[in-house]
Structure 1
């Protein structure tokens, strides 16, 4: 009896233990079951030339799922399971004639199924109908956080870092947003610019100076402190209605350290230098290894694979899945928001071949679109290397239509401090810059600027209105795509001697309660109105002026500090005369007979006076003239 009772007791214990174990395993299995958190991109478009669609699926243990597709004209190409179990890449192929609708995606894990409906939308325009910016445009670059605050309700966000604004701190968020830009669209029309370039607007949840936007933490969401995706799209629609184009700032080289990818790396080669915690490698910021015939592998790898800074992890565009994600992201913003161009940050720091592939696909899908790449080296030969069809890079081809003229920026900022008439100083520097235009496949598709968010402002700590007028006259009449930095039209100044925040000050009048409102004539000082009127006059004259946007150029070696060049197109011409000295000068008109074409008079569009071209012209110190012949 005693033994039988113990056996019964043991059997009972064993059955309870087994049941507990089964319940435990079931609970573990349920906890380990996949759950889809999101899919990037959240929707796509039919009718694209490239039939491939990558879906990046996020979710706990999602990689253990099998996937099936049920939709006419959509086929499952492949499923890629990455090293992290929390990502799954689903590659689909879309037939050319596939219709808009909802794709049924079934995710199966054991006997569990989850169905997701993925939307395919109809495109608003064909790819060739997307018209980018060009030399007929003038871009106005602004930082949304520092331009105007149109919606104070979105200033603070506890879910993002930093969570509050502080306008007293030049490196904190100040609260500017998309609503503030939208509020001032008429201001841009009054000024006369034709395109707006915003620094990045995507989510940037970072400690420190996240206001600038260059450390993206979500590639498909506008930062809530700027607005929503729909508000961004609506702003672009309203800008288009007022004749303004919008250029989107993107960064393929790196993301932000708070991006989910860094916290949970999809694969060991998703980033360059993935062992950053033990062996951090920062880029050497030397872009020359791309073109240097003697460059060491060590220098090239450090430049190309090193991180920009610790808070900006370096993405590996050699990984085909990373590259496809980024390419699709740019297409998505073109289709969804209707942007008119892209400015690509830190262009040469990313993989050459990957970026060339992206640009090739952009040009094929959107042949009339435009992308400008930042390549911060002040030698024209270096910049020309990066332009599409450059013989300097052959047999490689970047496919990048527009490059930034850091040489012009460098030369104009040296010339402004020089009164010498020596042949390598002052306006001679500008002349020498254009001598090398033979290196560019297309000089008209080079972007010139006086300053931007990464440099000292052109005026630095000063207020030399004559110098600024002459620099703007140059910028708006040379064979380039001009870019103005916000506030130049009201003589905003500043140096980076303390931090970048001092060249990224708030535009006065953009916030309720500002002591000055420079958006209005009444709110500007007399000298601010003088420079505003000057720039506005040139901008409106330049608009739809083929002589400047399409014309050829002939220039003369500066004499006595005077630089003269002529822009010509279909029988029309404009003669630009710049006195780069601080003293009165006389221009001997006979030296320029070859470009006058027997004209005896012309009209200076700046002074609106008729000019007698049969006599020498007396120029005031730092005077600029634009004479229509």
Structure 2
């Protein structure tokens, strides 16, 4: 698009692509009294569908239809108001990849989740930006911006390769021009602009290109449920139904954070509306996806970032808080345009039946279909954190909790497309305020070998801990070495403690072994009822079998090997990839306290 004039402030998206399956293109025009202008279009293969004038005079929606054979170029848009005339040129670009060539993440990947503000500061010059709402970087304040940015991540791409992860999930990178700060990124104020304190759109795209060169995928965190309260839409509401509960100044309605009304057959309309339409917090107004113009804007925004930046996946925040049918339509369109792409939705309820309800093709939500391929396993998160210090061998405690979690995999249309994790930016860290490396090793073994897509939270590999009891910032601490004046540099072996290197080496070893291992990424699973606190399961694919043994107690144990003959079959030996030792499978195994074994048969 040519430079903004005195009448037109901006058009979103600023450019688009030819060759998309959906021929409709929505242009949102911003400008003082722009709704009083008329629009004409002149370009071969592009026709004007409709012009929508909203309640605010400062917005105009132009719907264009692009023919299948339309060529890249600059579309002439002629705006007229009486005798006044202004011409804008809107660019249509060639796509760099076909939709089928956009490959998402799956169970062969391991996602490394990080917060850009807290990971590494590669460019101190962008720590503060006077063009945005004031929020000064202050590393002494756990709830302020700390200065981490895209340049810092880019400088450490080799670190991720050394560790062995295959995909990076950043918390949101888009502009959060919020007076209160919003270092976490979940209060968007511009859906088409990277926050300058992280970098620029060009830097984001460059980072993704560099990551791809190093065989790393990038997952973009998006939020369709809400935006930031200092977004232009709230300061000048396009229409009364652009947001839910728009009369917030007179009566503020916050969500009840109870997601059960989606599935509760007895749920009241009052509870459902409060949950679904209530604002997340006062600084995060709730978008109304039932408004077709809002929904089209959001759908296009996700497609634009796929096309422009080349992201490999999307993590959708607060998924069940948005409208079910609207989100299902988004996912339907995305799956049609990018059939090999992937989206994971956050649905924070710890009941497997609830999580399975949200997965694509679930019978639990039929006849409706979310079309969402991947869901997050909060049940696994809860069970593994309950089990980590339990000694009891009772049927409902210790590693029995993990066994019971997987019993309910029959509810999922596709258990291999469920994301498991030990912790994230919204929870206590797995180690909380401790340093139990045995518990960490066992949890990591489980996470990286079970029938899931694993996600690791940044710093887990160096045993970072923290609890949310005082501040979220305690579980979102800076990665040591990400700032030039840090006393420790945990990005290097020399900068890590002996204990940190032990944890790093353990996790890295399994991660590298896991790459390309189809028994783990594609295989079926057989699990055995835990006996005396010992949990055993196997993963098998095309004749290759991996047997995982976890001693969930702090005492030495003997494992009667004959009980597992159905997966061992005629194998007489195997190799434990943890210890690199050969394992005799003709005799009972001796297990040390909290020992984990991954045996390739």
User: For the superposition of Structure 1 and Structure 2, which TM-score range results when normalised by the shorter chain?
Assistant: over 0.9
Choose which of 425, 442, 459 in structure 1 pairs with 2:431: 459
Gaps of at least 5 residues in structure 2 are none
Asked if 1:197 corresponds to 2:169, the answer is yes
2:247 pairs with one of 271, 275, 278: 275
Change (3 A) 1:380 1:472: same
How far has the Cα of 1:499 moved from its partner?
A: 1.1
Q: Specify the SS of the correspondent of 2:499.
A: helix
How far, CA to CA, are the matches of 1:574 and 1:538 in structure 2? 13
In structure 1, the partner of 2:115 is 143
Aligned-partner Cα distance in 2 for 1:229–1:479: 36
* Corresponding residue to 1:243 among 209, 215, 219: 215
Call closer, same or farther: CA 1:558–1:209 in 2, change over 3 Å. Answer: farther
1:484 matched to 2:453? The reply is no
Please state whether the residue corresponding to 1:592 is helix, strand or coil: helix
Partners of 2:445 and 2:553 lie apart in 1 by 15
Q: What is the CA–CA distance in structure 1 between the aligned matches of 2:459 and 2:6, rounded to whole Å?
A: 51
Offset of 1:163 from its aligned partner? 3.5
* Preserved CA contact (<8 Å) 2:110 2:454: yes
Q: Could you tell which deviates more after superposition, 592-601 or 57-66?
A: 592-601
Does the CA contact (< 8 Å) of 1:34 and 1:109 recur in 2? no
Could you tell me how far apart the structure 2 residues matched to 1:500 and 1:603 are? Answer: 42
Pair member with larger Rg: 1
1:109 and 2:90 are equivalent in the alignment? no
**Deviation at residue 377 of structure 1 after TM alignment:** 0.1
The corresponding residue for 1:119 is 91
Residue 342 of structure 1 is matched in structure 2 by 314
Equivalent position of 2:282 in the other structure: 310
Aligned to 1:559: 531
CA distance in 2, matches of 1:162, 1:594: 64
Name the CA distance, whole Å, in 2 between partners of 1:238 and 1:617. Answer: 46
User: 24, 28, 45: which one pairs with 1:73?
Assistant: 45
Partner of 2:506: 534
CA deviation map 1:10-54 (0-9, x unaligned): xxxxxxxxxxxxxxxxxxxxxxx9710000000000000000000
The Cα of 1:159 is off from its aligned counterpart by: 1.6
The answer to whether residue 375 in structure 2 is matched with residue 403 in structure 1 is: yes
- Offset at 1:597? 1.3
SS state at 1:35 partner: coil
- Distance in 2 separating the partners of 1:584 and 1:204: 53
Pairing of 1:429-444 with structure 2 (within 5 A): 429-444=401-416
Question: Where do 4+ consecutive residues of structure 1 move more than 2 Å?
Answer: none
Whether the 8 Å CA contact 1:140–1:197 is kept in 2: the answer is yes
Equivalent of residue 386 in structure 2, options 406, 410, 414: 414
Pick aligned residue for 2:35 from 60, 63, 66 = 63
1:325 aligns with 2:297: yes
- Matching residue of 2:326: 354
Aligned-partner SS, 1:212:
coil
Asked if 1:504 is matched to 2:506, the reply is no
Contact (CA 8 Å) 2:135, 2:179: kept in 1 or not? no
Q: Distance in 2 between matches of 1:560 and 1:415?
A: 14
Query: What count of residue pairs does the alignment treat as equivalent?
Result: 597
Cα offsets for 1:154-185 (capped at 9, x unmatched):
01111213342000000000000000000000
Paired residues of 1:171 and 1:208 also in contact (CA < 8 A): no
The CA deviation string for residues 320-353 of structure 1, in whole angstroms up to 9 with x for no partner, is 0000000000000000000000000000000000
2:60 alignment partner, one of 88, 104, 116: 88
- Matched-pair contact (CA < 8 Å) for 2:255–2:276: yes
2:567 — aligned with what?
Answer: 595
Which of residues 139, 143, 148 in structure 2 aligns to 1:176? 148
The RMSD of aligned alpha carbons is: 0.7
Correspondence for 1:8: none
In the alignment, the residues of structure 2 paired with residue 448 and residue 572 of structure 1 have an alpha-carbon distance, to the nearest angstrom, of 23
**Structure-2 residue corresponding to 1:607:** 579
Deviation of residue 441 (structure 1)?
Answer: 0.2
8 Å contact kept, 2:223–2:316: yes
Following the alignment from structure 2 to structure 1, what is the Cα–Cα distance between the partners of residues 111 and 339? 20
Whether contact under 8 Å (2:135, 2:144) holds in the other structure is no
* TM-score between the two structures when normalised by the length of structure 1: 0.94
Rounded Cα–Cα distance in structure 2 between residues aligned with 1:469 and 1:460: 15
User: Does the CA contact (< 8 Å) of 1:164 and 1:173 recur in 2?
Assistant: yes
Q: TM-score, normalised by structure 2?
A: 0.99
The structure whose residues are more often helix, as a share, is 1
Check conservation: 1:34, 1:62, Cα contact below 8 A: no
Distance in 1 (CA, whole Å) between partners of 2:106 and 2:289 is: 28
Q: 1:285, 1:524 → 2: CA distance?
A: 40
Identify the residue that residue 597 of structure 2 maps to in structure 1. Answer: 625
